[in-house]
Amino acid sequence: MSENTKAQTKAFAKHLSASRLLVVLAVTSVGVALIGIFALANWAEVSELHHGMQHVLIFLAGIGLGGSSIALYTLKGGSRES
């Protein structure tokens, strides 16, 4: 196996690993958002503090989903300029 092939294989493995991690982050973020919206609905009505914590949880899930989506898009070559 040539050095160039070894380098390409290593780069591909690193790319695949990053893709998997970003997909896991996206799925986890959706799960956290769903928990924040539906499972914690009654809990959030107890007090203003709980309601604020629910908003923070949904906000953080949105950041995770948005960040992983942008990173996946750029990792797949979606931001290439012509």
Q: For residue range 64-75, what is the model confidence (pLDDT) as tens digits?
A: 999 999 998 988
Cα separation, 51 vs 16, in Å, equals: 39
Determine if the pTM surpasses 0.85: no
Mean pLDDT of 8-33: 83
Nearest to 72 by CA among 9, 29, 8, 23: 23
Q: What is the dihedral of CA 57, 60, 66, 69, to 10 degrees?
A: -90
Which two three-digit tokens encode residue 75? Answer: 């990792």
